Structures are given as C-alpha cells and as structure tokens.
Amino acid sequence: MSMHDHHLEDDQAPILWQPTKDKIHDSLIYQFMVALSEQEDTLFHDYQQLHHWSVRHSDHFWDRLWDFCGVIGEKGARITDCPPNSKEPAKDTRWFPDARLNFAENLLAYGRQHPDKDAIVFHCEGNPARRQQLSWRELEQQVSSLSQFLREQGISAGDVVAGYLPNLPQTIIAMLASSAVGAIWTSTSPDFGVDSVVERFGQTCPKILFAADGYFYNGKSHSCLEKVNAMLTELHSVETVVLIPFADLPAPVAPPLVDKYRGWNEVLNQYQAGPIEFEHVEFNHPLYILYSSGTTGKPKCIVHSVGGMLLNHLKEHLLHSNVHKGDRLFYFTTCGWMMWNWMASGLAAGATLILYEGSPFYPDGNVLWDLADAEDVTLFGTSAKYLEALEKKGFHPNQTHTLSRLRTLCSTGSVLAPEQFDYVYQSIKADLQLASISGGTDICGCFAIGNPISPVYRGECQGRALGMDVQVFDDQGHPLTEAQGELVCRNSFPNQPVGFWNDEGDQRYHSAYWDVFPNTWHHGDFVQLTRHGGLIFFGRSDAVLNPGGVRIGTAEIYRQVNPMDEIIDSIVIGQNWQNDVRVVLFVQLAEGQSLDETLQARIRQRIKAHCSPRHVPAVILAVTDIPRTKSGKLVELAVRNVVHQQPVKNVGALANPEALEQYKNRPELLS
C-alpha cells in the first residue's frame, strides 16, 4: 500500500501501510496462530484476539512459544512455580523453574545445519577493506576456542565477564563464549569515559575484561588503551585483559599492568576448536547485566536471565519482527545499549547479523543505506533521532537506493513523531512494516512493538507485546483507553529482571518498578492506548510538564517544534515558578538563524494551534547544544536540575556533558 492510499477510520490516525493477504500468510506469527488454533481449539482471526488470548492464558502462551521456536533444552514439567489461579504476586513468579538450557547453544543452533552460510558480516565506517565475513562454522570455532580459554582462566557459572568494546564480531564471540560456560556478560561502549566505566564495572566486579585498542568515529581514530590502563588501577577484580587489535594503534601499557594483557589472536590460536561444552543452567540463571543510563544517580545494574532473554527475544524476532531463517538483520547500536543484546539474539532466529561500527553520518547520511543495499538487509533498526536527522539533512534513500529486500524498519530510543512516519513511507520505502518499538533496558525487550499482520497507523506503535498485559493507568490505578496515563504491565512475564546486582532483599528493584501500583509493573512512560489497540507515546512520565496542574507529555511539544526548518533540536522542561510550573523551551537553531521575536511568535502560535494554550512555553531560549545520553535519549531531568540549581548526578552518562553549562544561571529564568 502506498502513501496515497491511506485513509481514515472513524477519525482515527490514517493507515500508512497494510499487509497484503500473501504477506500475512507468509508471516511466522500467522504460522504460530495456525498451530495454536489446532492445539487450543480456538480460531485466531487477528492480532488483537491473539494478544487477548496470550494475556488470559500467558502460561500456555509461553509454553507453546517454547515449542514453536524449537528451544534447545529441558523445559521441565512446570511453566511457573505458582499453582493455577493462585494470587502469587507478579513480581515473584518464577518461569520454567525446572528448565535447564544454554543461551549460546541456542544462538549457534542454526549454524549446525548451515555451516557455510554467513553468520556475521561486519562493516566499519570509511573503510571498505575492513569488511569481515564470518560463516557459522567460523563463528562456532572461535566460540569454542574462546570458551576453552575462559574455562582455563577459572571462569564458571555465575562469574562476570565484561566487554569495553566497539560493535565488532569479536564482541558477539566473547559474549557467546561467556554464556557457553554459564558466565554473565556485561558491556559498555568505548566512548564511555573511565569514571563511567568504573562506576558500572566497579559494581559488577568482572574477572576478565575484553577491550579493543581503539575505535573509529566520524573519520578519526580514538585510542582506548590509556583509558583501559586507568580503569585497571580501579577495577581490582579484573585478572586478565584480552586485547582486540582493531584500530591498529600502538599499545602504551604501563609496566605493572603488562602481565594482565593477552592478545585476542594469541588466545584463539592457543586452543584448538572442537565441540563446545555448553554449561546447562537454570532458566532464571543470570545471563546479562545491563546498566540504566544513570542520569538520576549511580547506574542500576539490572540482571537478566538466560531463559527470559532467549524466549522473549525469540518472540520479538520471530512473531513481532517476522525474522525468518536466513534473513539479514541490522541494528545501528553500540554495546552500551540494550539494542545490542536484542540484535545479538537474532542468531537464535537463524538470521545473519550485519554489524556496523562508526558514525551513521560519515562520510554522509547514505552510509547505512549503502550498507542495507550491499548486504541485502531485511530488517533495518535505528533510532527516532536518526530518522529525524536524516529528514532534516534532506536524504531520500528511496531515490538513491533499491532496498529491495527490506521488509521491516524498527525505530526506538525515543518517541517517533507522526511526521517521521510520513518521512519513512515517502522517502525510504512505501511497502514496509514500520515498527515503532518501546520498552527498555529494564526488561531488555519491548512492551510496545510491531507485528507483520496489522496495519501501521500514523504516529502509533502497532500494539502491545504478546503475553504482556500492558495497560494505561490513571493516578488512581484505573485502566484508561483513549486518554493519557502511565504505562503499566499487570501480569508476570519471563523477561522480568532477576533483580538488581548487590540489592539486598530486592529493595531497590521493588521501588524502581513495583511500588507505585499494587502488584503491577510501573514503567515510567506517559502514553495513550488507542481504540484499535495501538499505543501513542508522549515521553517519560518523570519529565511530564505540569503547568496549572495539567499533565503534558514533552513529546507533544517536540512534535511541533522539531520539524521547523529553523530548528535542529529542542528540549523542554517545567520550571517551578511563583507556586506553579511554567513551560521553558530551549531550541538549538540551524546555522544562520536567530531567535528573534518573529520566530518566537511562530513557535508559540504553532504549539497553541496544534496542542493547546497550556502547552505554549512561557520562555523560549536559544542554546547551541542539547544534552543527550550516549544512546541518544534526551535528558530533561538533568536540564531541569541545572535550571533549579540542583546537582546533576552522574554527568558521565551524557554524550555531551559540557552542553549543560549553557543552561546554568540564565538571567531570563531568574527574574
């Protein structure tokens, strides 16, 4: 369906894409529904009906999913540890308590039947000669050698192994080798500074650290070695550093540390590849430690389980994203973002991973689309910010690239504005499932996600994830439809975190998600459920503006301001003012623009016309940079703290902390 065919249904958002009957029948979710209809003696007609069933019978759903996906391992007799209809709190339910499995074994399984096909293809910015291709056989061999090395280093189930790495094939290999022996993998990207890394790994105490000598970004090489040396003086738990030569930079290793270093190639060559000894662990055994962005304090160390990650990612890849065996999956991400972990699980679906390391705009905005064409990418994953920047810079990939195999485009990281939906269908590809997905590091997965059998409505996530009773609550905990409120999940699901690392009695974990509404996961997003089951996001609920006691999602304002030609980016906060809250908007202007009265009036008029008089900023100020986290998220809370002359915790989580200086002591906000 092309853009010109879109139509309205009962004053709802227009439909921008609708799958054909053939596409529906070819989808894996359709095959799942057919199999389910026979097993459950219920006819499933559409996604809404399937979702409803998957929530009402969530134990059956996850059980059937295990079989449909062909999970390798012993499932055990019980699906959960609580008897049917018991009032066991969602927080405390344990899934598949008798199961035993290994994560790496499941991710490498497809390659046993297809050893010569591509498992990983790697590209590096600005240098076609750095392209690497690994077959499934080569991947398995390297995981075999590395897992033997880890065992010989004394690494066993429950030990922590860390990566301070770019998005390289070796990063995937190190993660797989760690999980093969039952260890816990944790990673950050090399753009993190020493303090930020120590703040994370210092809490989780890895025994082995994988690091690269450097990385490339925006046409420059950046060395990591001095940072690694500095970290080692603080991270006393690290016994060995395995160094991956990537940027070919000289290695200034301080003498007392030199004994800790081993070379990647030296390690691999020392161990002959053979059958991998996969350590079978419990379903709820820790697999990953992920870190919250840490903009409100010390980063939380969120522990995710082997079974929860495998089963939920299989659901999200196969059913929601329609990833078939042999598909080619690309996600633009660093190893400091949960989307890296999500992408890595694509191997379990039998997909080839297409990795890219570097800037998405070097040498220009065609680079990722060149990659998509050259490597026949079927799923292209990126962030909302990237799509907005691409449109601002005037790129139209559909005019310059064929993108013939591209079926699915995923966007996450922040709210995808309705205008970017238009841009995708007008300038990237008309026949495409655009999945605006949303979840978080907290669940290393999605609450709102796409599916290949439902239409895409402008400005909406397609729907709620299967098996998850996602609702929108008002402040009293009553469910809402077609009104804005808090995103919650009312039932238990396998990819709930195991807990937080070093959290006695689960107190920090409980207060993070479970103590706002009784026995209900409170996620902290401000959203609206549409009549046909879609979700519209309005920003984080802790950043919600509250002028005159009316709650306003920040995304509503960005939606009006960011498309303006004069503006590159913006950030909005509520400032406490004369016993109320006033809306303050900061704008980053395009080159040659000035924030004169005419432009201010246009901004205010546009917000008033499209939102409401309450949304109109009391003050509009120009800045030259908008602070964001390293994964590209806006940090409204940090700006709000600076404006209120309160300390900003953990500045190291920001990609551009120096930007905050411009928000301090602005005379316009003091009088």
Q: What is the DSSP string of 587-599?
A: EEEPTT----HHH
Whole-angstrom distance, CA of residue 525 vs CA of residue 551 = 13
What is the pLDDT, as a whole number, of residue 551? Answer: 85
Whole-angstrom distance, CA of residue 217 vs CA of residue 148 = 33
Exposure class string for 67-91: b at 16+ Cβ within 10 A, else e: ebbebbbebeebbbebeeeeeeebb
Q: What is the CATH number of the domain that holds 438?
A: 3.40.50.12780
For the chain, the domain total comes to 2
Whole-angstrom distance, CA of residue 330 vs CA of residue 308 = 22
Q: Is residue 94 part of a domain?
A: no
Measured CA distances, 435 to 36, 50, 441, 640 (Å): 24, 18, 18, 31
Which of 158-172, 208-222, 289-303, 457-471 has the least mean pLDDT? 289-303
State the amino acid at position 253 in one-letter form.
V
Q: Is residue 39 part of a domain?
A: no
What is the pLDDT, as a whole number, of residue 138? Answer: 98
Q: Are residues 283 and 412 in the same domain?
A: yes
Domain end position, chosen among 465, 494, 529: 529
Q: Are residues 414 and 325 in the same domain?
A: yes
* Residue 511 buriedness (CB in 10 A; 0-12 / 13-18 / 19+): exposed
Query: What is the pLDDT confidence band of residue 252, given thresholds at 50, 70 and 90?
Result: low
Q: Is residue 66 part of a domain?
A: no
Domain end position, chosen among 466, 495, 529: 529
Q: Are residues 468 and 581 in the same domain?
A: no
Helices (H), 27-84: 28-40, 47-56, 58-69
Q: What is the DSSP letter of 455?
A: P
Q: Are residues 586 and 524 in the same domain?
A: no
Q: Are residues 431 and 552 in the same domain?
A: no
Q: Are residues 492 and 637 in the same domain?
A: no
What is the pLDDT, as a whole number, of residue 295? Answer: 65
What is the pLDDT, as a whole number, of residue 12? Answer: 75
Q: Are residues 515 and 585 in the same domain?
A: no
- Residue 211, pLDDT above cutoff 50: yes
DSSP, residue by residue, 162-173: EEE--S-HHHHH
Measured CA distances, 548 to 115, 351, 615 (Å): 63, 51, 11
Q: Is residue 597 part of a domain?
A: yes
- Residue 8, pLDDT above cutoff 50: no
pLDDT digits (tens, 9 = 90+) for 142-155: 999 999 999 999 99
Question: Count of CB atoms within 10 A of residue 347's CB?
Answer: 26
State the amino acid at position 328 in one-letter form.
R
Secondary structure (3-state) at 497: coil
pLDDT digits (tens, 9 = 90+) for 326-343: 999 999 999 999 999 999
The pLDDT of 442-459, averaged and rounded, is 98
Q: Which residues, other chains included, contact 5 with Cβ-Cβ below 8 Å and sequence gap of 6+?
A: none
Antiparallel, parallel or unpaired: β 301-305 and 499-500: antiparallel
Q: Are residues 427 and 566 in the same domain?
A: no
The answer to whether the beta carbons of residues 95 and 308 sit under 8 Å apart is yes
Q: What stretch of H or E contains 338?
A: helix 338-344
Domain end position, chosen among 466, 500, 529: 529
Q: Are residues 521 and 577 in the same domain?
A: no
Whole-angstrom distance, CA of residue 338 vs CA of residue 357 = 16
Whole-angstrom distance, CA of residue 658 vs CA of residue 111 = 46
Whole-angstrom distance, CA of residue 244 vs CA of residue 395 = 35
Measured CA distances, 160 to 156, 189, 201, 202 (Å): 9, 17, 9, 11
Average pLDDT, the chain: 93
Q: What is the CATH number of the domain that holds 663?
A: 3.30.300.30
The pLDDT of 66-79, averaged and rounded, is 97
What is the pLDDT, as a whole number, of residue 7? Answer: 40
The answer to whether the beta carbons of residues 584 and 538 sit under 8 Å apart is no
Q: Are residues 288 and 427 in the same domain?
A: yes
Q: Is residue 251 part of a domain?
A: yes
Q: Which residues, other chains included, contact 176 with Cβ-Cβ below 8 Å and sequence gap of 6+?
A: 104, 107, 108, 139, 143
- Residue 2, pLDDT above cutoff 60: no
Domain extent at residue 616: 544-669
Q: Is residue 216 part of a domain?
A: yes
Q: Are residues 481 and 525 in the same domain?
A: yes
Q: Is residue 483 part of a domain?
A: yes
Q: Are residues 596 and 653 in the same domain?
A: yes
- Residue 357, pLDDT above cutoff 90: yes
Q: Is residue 124 part of a domain?
A: yes
Comparing C-alpha atoms, which of 345, 497, 338, 469 is closest to residue 413? 338
The pLDDT of 219-229, averaged and rounded, is 93
pLDDT digits (tens, 9 = 90+) for 124-176: 999 888 999 999 999 999 999 999 999 999 999 999 999 999 999 999 999 99
Bridge partners of residue 273, in order along the sequence? none
